[in-house]
Amino acid sequence: MVDPTPEEPRVEEPAVPSVLWFEGDRVVVGKAAKEQLRMGDNASVEHIVKSPKLHLGKRNPIQVGGRDFTPAEVAAELFKYLRDEATGKFTDKKPSTEAVVTIPVTMQGPGRRALREAAQIAGIGVVQFVHEPLAALYAYFKKGAEPDLARLENQVVLVFDWGGGTLDMTLVGVRDGNLCQILNHGMDTVGGDEFDWALMSHCKKRFLVQHGAIEEAILPGREKVHLDRCEQAKIALSTRAEHPVFVPGFARIAGAAQNLEITVTRADMEEATRFLVDQATRELRALLERANIAPTGVALCLATGGMVLMPVIYERLTEIFDGIRVPQPSEIGSATLISEGAAWIAYDQSRLTLAKPVELELASRRYLPLLDEGKELPYGETHLTTDPITPPCQQC
């Protein structure tokens, strides 16, 4: 949030879970909504929405309890909650009406418009959009995790940001003490949510084989609860060797409700999700090849997001960047680094600029310059403007 009299930003608690529970006319957000999901009551589960960000920019409405909502309307409830939480914690300050908003590198125009609309519904103006990897890197340096930025001058840094919805990989150059995006690539097919689905499929197969049942035996509403239990197991297995997955009344077998009770090991988890880690690894190597940068040419690999806390993912990164610095995610607060970066950018009132010029390709295969490198990007409700363009001559 942007405050008229900013002070040093603080992150006191983990990020708010992106879960909403529509209870009649009341909307419960965050941890309370997630606890309701974990209670497993069928009536409540059907009124819960998880990760609304993934719906932004899509035309299909979100159906909750027989009612249709636009993705922006659902996301607006998250903005309202965050606004009220921030206002409650800083009672000596005026309510914030503006925010720096971070976005995945894959989010295009429709998604950004829907996100801006969601903020407007909540009474918040978007000061500027910032790519999530860039925000994470900004926080990393502001926190003093890298004591000497000059050490990385003219070097290349990779931000490997793996969250619940997307995996964003961004190559950043350090030039004159500034961070300049070189090349980025985003994937929405290997996010942490996909790991939950893969583990759920693993558990479901084991259950059906164990009971000699078919998938149609699974009772309505149990899949959402099962998915949440698998997410808990995924998180727990980052620090434990095994974890139980329990879903009450999961299926009806021989006329009776049967619970799902399975103990999942870290090895089970890694085997069930290996295809996702392999896919991400291939995309990472492809990104480096497109940029013509060898792994040894990366001076720092900053791994952020909740997913990099999984040992197998961190190990894969250290294998690729042999001898290159890959800070331990748990030591740098990887799960909240993006939000910290947004707070620092708002506090510093940093202005983003174009890392490379914007040009229009003509039918003649020539390029017409529109915006120069270094031009400041829009701030608040302003728009980029260009100087009057002289039409290309006939010879062009």
What pTM did the predictor assign? 0.79
238-285 tens-digit pLDDT: 999 999 999 999 999 999 999 999 999 999 999 999 999 999 999 999
168-191 tens-digit pLDDT: 999 999 888 788 889 989 888 999
Nearest-5° angle of CA 316, CA 320, CA 324? 110
Structural domains in the chain, CATH included, are: 1-145+331-352 (3.30.420.40), 163-326 (3.90.640.10), 356-396 (no CATH)
Q: Is the pLDDT of residue 221 over 60?
A: yes
Q: How far is CA 109 from CA 6, 101, 105, 242, in A?
A: 30, 14, 11, 42
228-238 tens-digit pLDDT: 999 999 999 99
Q: Which residue has the higher pLDDT, 371 or 144?
A: 144
Mean predicted lDDT score pLDDT of the chain: 84
Q: Is the pLDDT of residue 297 over 80?
A: yes
Residue 16 and residue 33: Cα distance in Å, rounded? 10
Among 27-31, 141-145, 308-312, the minimum mean pLDDT is found in 141-145
**What band does 75 get if pLDDT is binned at 50, 70 and 90?**
very high
Inter-residue contact 384 to 375 (CB < 8 Å): yes
